[in-house]
Chains A and B, each alone.
Chain A
Amino acid sequence: MVNGKSKGIFTATVLSNRRIGECFYTMDLEFAGAGARAFAEFRPGQFLQVDVSTLALPPEDKIPPELRDICRRNVLLRRPFSFADVAIRGENTIAELLYCALGPASVRMTTLAAGDPLNVIGPLGNGFHVPKDKHTALLIVGGMGAPPIRCLARLLRAERPDMKIVAFVGAKSAAAIPFEGNFAHVSQQVDFFIPAFAKLGIPSVVATDDGSAGYRGFITGRLALWLNEQAALPLERTILCACGPEPMLSAVARIAAERNIDCQVSMERRMACGIGVCQSCAVECRIEGSTETIYKLCCQDGPVFDSRTVVFDARTEAVEEMGLAQAIKEGQASPAVDKARVLEALEHGEEDRH
């Protein structure tokens, strides 16, 4: 888990901001000067705090009807995002921000157009770190956990061309898969389904809660099945890197622990500052050789943690466990669990609703 050296408050310029799916948008930002130098060092899994408090809402008819009430709320605090891609262009740094418009802050972001300034703080926190001795990386995405994982895929492919990489992508439905492409008829096999990974030569496996694409059930259920089929996989040379809702991370952590595979998870918490002063984003962590736990800060000690150290929320863990056990038992059947509880816990991108 590695972080760059310089961070600060920077103004980026919006290059483009377009819709790519149901509620997904991709925005390219350009950094010049000190900002370009700081974000050139951006590591996958690090994040930035975006100031949306000065942005106006789009006209009411441009806001999805179900979001109109919630969008009337003013936005005060910055919102954390992780870049999906970072590239150097001459003296400047270009970064891709992938987001989902589902609340007062992200709906305001859809109004940004080429040439607009955007105030950000970053790069913040610690990203993923794949040790040199790993030969296989399994990248696990749940819903809006996509950006840091895609960023990591590109970096690994560039820095470690020989590495075996497979992407596991889970979402509520085919339309909710946070990548460009048409996934309606994707099978549950391993193949080059997702263009963003395919162009890096990385195959993917898809799972949806409603079975409208790929495996029907949680992606963690599909991951467990896949691992069971890999008798020849050297587990000590394998690493799992995951970003998504906490029940998913908790299930990934358990799958890793049962097989003694190294695993890093990118955690999400409500943050006020993102720079280690507000103490909002506590993540309960184990202390080695002790039954005591401590709170670490997601913004400063994370957001990427070794999964062995994290004490996951017991309630969300139970939810995933029900779904996972059922999915494994029934093969590819839909997890017949208490749906309201699952949906509540799996509310993808819940953060913007606070």
Chain B
Amino acid sequence: MVKKTDIDISVDFAGLRLANPVFTASGTCGYADEMGDYMDVNALGGFITKSITLRPRKGNPTPRIVETDAGMLNAIGLANMGLDRFIEEKLPIIAKMSVPVFVNVAGELIEEYVAVVERLAREDAITGFELNISCPNVAKGGISFGRDPRQVSEITSAVRKAAGDRVLIVKLSPNVTDIGIIASAAAEAGADALSLVNTFTAMVIDIETRRPALANRTGGLSGPAIKPIAVYLVNRVYNDVARAAGIPILGLGGIRTAADAIEFIIAGASAVAVGTASFIQPDCASRIVDGIREYCVRHNVAKLSDLVGSLSPK
């Protein structure tokens, strides 16, 4: 029987040694300073920022969210302060953090992604990037890159060059016919890791007014509702692409407990990210770190990395 203190929950992730497998999902924990009153972000395995674009973005009109039975739809529209203000206001805070920080990067043109990544790759405080080619809530860019394997390949190789020695995670959309083709395209073009999945395009209608519940008409569904689909897609990409390519998966979609996280890890994720659940429990990610340790004690798992992709073949 292993003791709790002897358990190794560190993971190898794209050449990095992370203290544990738990990340924050982009857009759910801001730029970390907002979380200080609720959680020690340095106790996590990784921190992924809210999306940054080259220029500031105002975002969509309201309502931007609507709750559903076991989740929520959002259509924020990549509202963010832009690269310059991020460097001025947020980078000094990030520089003081010990947790590896990944900047989520979005844009309308490949040149915009490249410009943001090139600039931030010069900063010691930034461990890597998460390429957002899967946002369903903007008119241009976002998901339109993520649906076409040729475009995925083009943008991944361009950003790969710009990222220099930094880790490049490509975040995939589930809103495609065959996620395996997209995952292969990203892997072959130089992605160091894949994160999946982003939100599912969805709609809620107010039947009294016959209007969509969101000003953007559609939004991305997140939360517990999508977890079983996300677990399936992680397992599929792990079996079909990631294992053979030797690149890790960051699994996300509806994780709110350690048990949820363990499911993704067994399915093939080397690390996991907590998203919507952080809105309800701002300290959710750090609680999951503790819960993972407890699971390992109960199941006599000395090294968490042995659990990755350990789904029984039968």
Contact = CB atoms under 8 A, between A and B. Distances in A.
* Most chain B beta-carbon contacts within 10 A, residue among A269, A277, A283, A354: A277
B246 to A, nearest CB: 34
Nearest to A284: B61
B63 A270 contact: yes
Given A270-B64, A354-B213, A278 B58 contact: no
B279 A77 contact: yes
Nearest to A294: B58
Q: How large is the interface on B (under 10, 10 to 19, 20 to 34, 35 or more residues)?
A: 35 or more
B38 interface: yes
Main secondary structure of the interface of B (DSSP, over half): loop
B70 interface: yes
A152 interface: no
Contacts of A75: 67
B69 A280 contact: no
Nearest to B65: A280
A276 to B, nearest CB: 5
A9 interface: yes
Given A74-B70, A76-B67, A295-B79, A275 B282 contact: yes
A277 B28 CA distance: 6
Contact of B37 (A7, A344, A354): A7
A9 B282 CA distance: 8
B280 A53 contact: yes
Contacts of B28: 273, 277-278
Interface string B272-308: 0000101111110000000000000000000000000
* Most chain A beta-carbon contacts within 10 A, residue among B38, B278, B279: B279
B69 A344 contact: no
Contacts of B224: 76
Interface in B60-80: 61-67, 69-72, 74, 76, 79
A281 B74 CA distance: 11
A272 interface: yes
Nearest to B69: A74
A343 to B, nearest CB: 10
B58 A270 contact: no
B178 interface: no
Given A8-B38, A9-B38, A277-B30, A269 B67 contact: no
Main secondary structure of the interface of A (DSSP, over half): loop
B279 A282 contact: no
A220 B67 CA distance: 32
A51 B280 contact: yes
A326 interface: no
A273 B69 contact: no
A275 B64 contact: no
B247 to A, nearest CB: 29
Contacts of A281: 62, 64
A121 interface: yes
A279 interface: yes
A78 interface: yes
Interface in A260-300: 269-273, 275-284, 294-295
B227 interface: no
A344 B72 contact: no
A76 B58 CA distance: 27
Given A76-B70, A354-B213, A278 B35 contact: no
B5 interface: no
B47 to A, nearest CB: 12
A73 interface: yes
* Most chain A beta-carbon contacts within 10 A, residue among B59, B224, B280, B281: B280
A279 B64 contact: yes
Contacts of B283: 9
A275 B34 contact: yes
A304 to B, nearest CB: 18
B159 interface: no
Contacts of B268: none
A269 B213 contact: no
Given A294-B58, A344-B208, A273 B278 contact: yes
Contacts of B30: 276-277
A272 B59 contact: no
A276 B65 contact: no
Given A76-B224, A282-B79, A272 B72 contact: yes
B59 A295 contact: yes
Contacts of A272: 65, 72, 74, 276, 279
A273 B222 CA distance: 14
Contacts of A282: 59, 61-62, 64, 79
A99 B281 CA distance: 22
* Most chain B beta-carbon contacts within 10 A, residue among A51, A77, A78: A77
B223 interface: yes
Given A273-B278, A277-B279, A295-B58, 19 more contacts: A8-B38, A51-B280, A75-B67, A76-B67, A270-B62, A272-B65, A272-B74, A272-B279, A275-B38, A275-B282, A276-B34, A277-B50, A278-B279, A279-B76, A280-B63, A280-B74, A282-B64, A282-B79, A283-B62
Interface of A: 6-9, 51, 53, 73-78, 121, 269-273, 275-284, 294-295, 344, 354
23 contacts: A51-B281, A76-B72, A76-B223, A76-B280, A77-B279, A78-B280, A270-B66, A272-B72, A273-B278, A276-B34, A277-B27, A277-B279, A278-B279, A279-B27, A279-B76, A279-B79, A280-B65, A280-B74, A281-B64, A282-B62, A283-B62, A295-B59, A344-B209
Lowest 9 CB-CB distances: which A-B pairs, in order?
Answer: A277-B30, A273-B279, A280-B65, A272-B279, A280-B64, A279-B76, A276-B34, A279-B79, A74-B69
